[in-house]
């Protein structure tokens, strides 16, 4: 048995098999349980270590050869797999409440398998091909065959597809830079290619206009899932480039570019969120700001930045899950998610309304919530390097906070004497309640995550050590 089979091929096969099940509850529970089992195996069964169970011996090899290339999952990547599949379990368990299990669970498994393949493939720049395949699988997940696709889906497909050629060519050019480090022209060309590729993949300003459109057109829960998995794996893939090439790692221009791009994402994300009048678009800009925080973490001294980057991942997963599930429930109960139509919705979807606000506040670094510890560490580290950068980050956060409080005002602004008539079903209440408790637990006791996060920087050879 080998690790790529367990965490890539098996989930892929499960994804295909689950396509034949139509029951939302069965899919949700089955998918969640499979993901939990995969997460537990990743966390507790070490790779490349023989384990004896009586007369039976078990060893998970780290590599699998496919068409002359290697899929390699290193022992240090066990915690990352555990985090990814653990978060996937969270999304899959919540899929029933959002009534998207028939699309999210089977295709979600396939997408996660491809994203893990993107982390595992050697040479690592081939990851762009696996990410593109995941994008293609995401399209049927985002659109229904019974409804016309919107502009957001087409833009998503175009922008993400255009990323692949840039990354592949950049990878080839980078090999040339490694061979002749003095060639400045080649260095600039490869850096430009790489920058364009990641700008498309991570939806960096101004290439993120598909995100608000998607959140207007498609199920918020499905979009939320993609806004979690795609940037998370892409950032790790990007960090892999920094780890692999010393000239990139030590380039002050690249670090500055990462910082300015991160700030641009946080400030525009927060700024635009503050002026939106659509609950879905506010989440879209919140997720854009989240990507900005990750870029800012990468721009710090790697010993500080990489642990902060990993600390951002669980908060992002849980925050987006609660936020998107809340929006899905609200969308079910209102005509549109515009402020005018969603006024007073707290009276009919109290938990969903509360979930949306708590998740928005968590993204806005509100104290005691999951997003706070990572953002505080990020802000503190950033202020040591540049006070003006820390100030800009604060402006972005103020924008996000404004959007959260505006949303709160709108959803609680009901007609006088309107009675409370909650319409959420039991599953939705349970999942939203657990999600909100999770956001508070991660905010109050961030050290609980150390069990998963402590060894994650070891997956890189040079970063974070």
Partner 1 sequence: MAITFAWIAVILLVITSTGLLLIHDWRWSIILLAMQYLGMFVLTLQHWPLSMASVKVVAGWMSAAILGMTRSGLSNEDPLEESIWPRGRLFRLFAAVIVLLIVAVVTPGVDNIMADAGFAVTNGSLLLIGMGLLHLGITARILPVIMGLMTVLAGFEILYSSVEGSVLVAALLAVINLGLALVGSYLMLAASRQETEST
| Closest CB 151 distance from partner 1, rounded Å | 7
Q: Counting contacts by CB under 8 A, is residue 130 touching partner 1?
A: yes
Q: Counting contacts by CB under 8 A, is residue 179 touching partner 1?
A: no
| Closest CB 337 distance from partner 1, rounded Å | 21
Q: Counting contacts by CB under 8 A, is residue 184 touching partner 1?
A: no
Q: Counting contacts by CB under 8 A, is residue 16 touching partner 1?
A: no
Build a one-symbol-per-residue string for 277-316: x at contacts with partner 1 by CB under 8 A, - elsewhere.
----------------------------------------
Q: Counting contacts by CB under 8 A, is residue 157 touching partner 1?
A: yes
Q: Give the residue, chosen from 9, 19, 29, 139, that forms a contact with partner 1 under the rule CB under 8 A.
A: 139
Q: Counting contacts by CB under 8 A, is residue 336 touching partner 1?
A: no
Q: Three-class SS string for the chain?
A: CEHHHHHHHHHHHHHHHHCCCCCHHHHHHHHHHHHHHHHHHHHHCCECCCEEECCEEECEECEEEECCEEEECCHHHHHHHHHHHHHHHHHHHHHHHHCCHHHHHHHHHHHHHHHHHHHHEECHHHHHHHHHHHHHHHHHHHCCCCCCCCHHHHHHHHHHHHHHHHHHHHHHHHHHHHHCCCCHHHHHHHHHHHHHHHHHHCCCCCCCCHHHHHHHHCCHHHHHHHHHHHHHHHHHHHHHHHHHCHHHHCCHHHHHHHHHHHHHHHHHHHHHHHHCCEHHHHHHHHHHHHHHHHHHHHCCCHHHHHHHHHHHHHHHHHHHHHHHHHHHHHHHHCCCCEHHHHCCHHHCCHHHHHHHHHHHHHHCCCCCCCHHHHHHHHHHHHHHHCHHHHHHHHHHHHHHHHHHHHHHHHHHCCCCCCCCCCCCCHHHHHHHHHHHHHHHHHHHCHHHHHHHHCCHHHHCCCCCC
39 class by beta-carbon count within 10 Å (0-12 exposed, 13-18 middle, 19+ buried): buried
Q: Which stretch binds partner 1 (CB under 8 A): 101-109, 157-165, 198-206, 371-379?
A: 157-165
- Reference 403, options 348, 432, 366, 445; nearest CA is 366
Q: Counting contacts by CB under 8 A, is residue 195 touching partner 1?
A: no
Q: Which stretch binds partner 1 (CB under 8 A): 125-133, 269-277, 339-347, 384-392?
A: 125-133
Prior bond to 206 cis, omega within 30? yes
Which of 54, 68 has the CB closer to partner 1? 68
Which of 19, 154 has the CB closer to partner 1? 154
| Closest CB 121 distance from partner 1, rounded Å | 8
Build a one-symbol-per-residue string for 437-456: x at contacts with partner 1 by CB under 8 A, - elsewhere.
--------------------
Q: Give the residue, chosen from 55, 56, 148, 206, that forms a contact with partner 1 under the rule CB under 8 A.
A: 148
| Closest CB 257 distance from partner 1, rounded Å | 21
Contact indicator for 262, 293 with CB cutoff of 8 Å: yes
Q: Counting contacts by CB under 8 A, is residue 161 touching partner 1?
A: yes
Q: Counting contacts by CB under 8 A, is residue 18 touching partner 1?
A: no
| Closest CB 173 distance from partner 1, rounded Å | 7
Q: Which stretch binds partner 1 (CB under 8 A): 126-134, 300-308, 399-407, 430-438?
A: 126-134
Build a one-symbol-per-residue string for 56-85: x at contacts with partner 1 by CB under 8 A, - elsewhere.
----------xxxx----------------
Please enumerate in sequence order all residues whose Cβ is within 8 A of that of 412, keeping only pairs 6 or more positions apart, or say none.
344, 346, 353
Q: Give the residue, chosen from 12, 34, 173, 211, that forms a contact with partner 1 under the rule CB under 8 A.
A: 173
Which of 50, 184 has the CB closer to partner 1? 184
| Torsion angles phi and psi, residue 49, rounded to 5 | -125, 125
Q: Counting contacts by CB under 8 A, is residue 9 touching partner 1?
A: no
Which of 133, 374 has the CB closer to partner 1? 133
Q: Counting contacts by CB under 8 A, is residue 217 touching partner 1?
A: no
Q: Which stretch binds partner 1 (CB under 8 A): 38-46, 143-151, 296-304, 398-406?
A: 143-151
Number of residues that bind partner 1 (CB under 8 A): 35
Q: Counting contacts by CB under 8 A, is residue 214 touching partner 1?
A: no
Residue ranges in contact with partner 1 by CB under 8 A? 66-69, 126, 129-130, 132-133, 136-137, 139-140, 143-149, 151, 153-154, 157-158, 161-162, 164-165, 168-169, 172-173, 186, 189
């Amino acid at each position: 048995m080998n690790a790529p089979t367990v965490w890539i091929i098996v989930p892929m096969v499960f994804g295909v098999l689950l396509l034949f099940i139509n029951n939302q509850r069965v899919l949700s529970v089955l998918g969640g349980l499979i993901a939990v089992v995969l997460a537990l195996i990743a966390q507790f069964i070490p790779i490349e270590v023989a384990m004896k169970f009586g007369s039976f011996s078990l060893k998970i090899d780290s590599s699998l050869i496919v068409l002359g290339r290697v899929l390699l999952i290193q022992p240090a990547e066990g915690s990352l797999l555990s985090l990814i599949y653990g978060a996937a379990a969270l999304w899959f368990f919540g899929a029933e409440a959002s009534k998207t299990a028939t699309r999210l669970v089977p295709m979600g498994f396939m997408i996660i398998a491809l994203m893990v393949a993107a982390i595992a493939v050697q040479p690592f720049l081939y990851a762009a091909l696996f990410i593109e395949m995941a994008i293609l699988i995401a399209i049927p997940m985002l659109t229904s065959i019974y409804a016309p696709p919107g502009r957001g889906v087409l833009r998503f497909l175009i922008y993400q597809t255009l990323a692949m050629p840039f990354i592949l060519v950049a990878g080839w050019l980078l090999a040339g830079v490694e061979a002749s480090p003095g060639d400045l022209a080649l260095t600039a060309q490869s850096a430009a290619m790489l920058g364009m590729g990641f700008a498309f993949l991570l939806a960096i300003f101004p290439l993120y206009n598909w995100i608000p459109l998607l959140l207007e057109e498609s199920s918020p829960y499905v979009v939320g899932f993609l806004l979690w998995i795609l940037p998370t794996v892409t950032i790790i893939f990007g960090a892999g480039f920094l780890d692999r090439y010393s000239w990139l790692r030590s380039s002050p221009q690249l670090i500055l570019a990462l910082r300015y791009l991160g700030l641009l994402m946080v400030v525009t994300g927060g700024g635009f969120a503050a002026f939106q009048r659509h609950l879905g678009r506010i989440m879209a800009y919140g997720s854009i700001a989240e990507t900005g925080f990750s870029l800012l973490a990468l721009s710090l001294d790697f010993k500080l930045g990489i642990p902060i980057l990993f600390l951002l991942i669980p908060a992002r997963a849980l925050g987006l899950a609660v936020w998107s599930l809340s929006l899905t429930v609200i969308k079910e109960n209102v005509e549109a998610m515009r402020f005018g139509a969603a006024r007073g919705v707290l009276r009919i979807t109290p938990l969903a309304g509360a979930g949306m606000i708590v998740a928005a506040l968590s993204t806005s670094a509100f104290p005691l919530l999951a997003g706070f510890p990572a953002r505080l560490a990020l802000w503190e580290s950033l202020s040591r390097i540049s006070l003006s950068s820390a100030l800009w980050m604060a402006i972005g956060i103020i924008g996000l906070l404004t959007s959260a409080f505006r949303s709160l005002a709108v959803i609680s602004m009901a007609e006088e004497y309107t009675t409370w008539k909650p319409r959420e079903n039991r599953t939705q209440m349970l999942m939203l309640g657990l999600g909100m408790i999770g956001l508070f637990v991660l905010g109050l006791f961030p050290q609980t995550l150390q069990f998963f996060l402590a060894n994650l920087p070891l997956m890189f050879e040079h970063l974070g050590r």
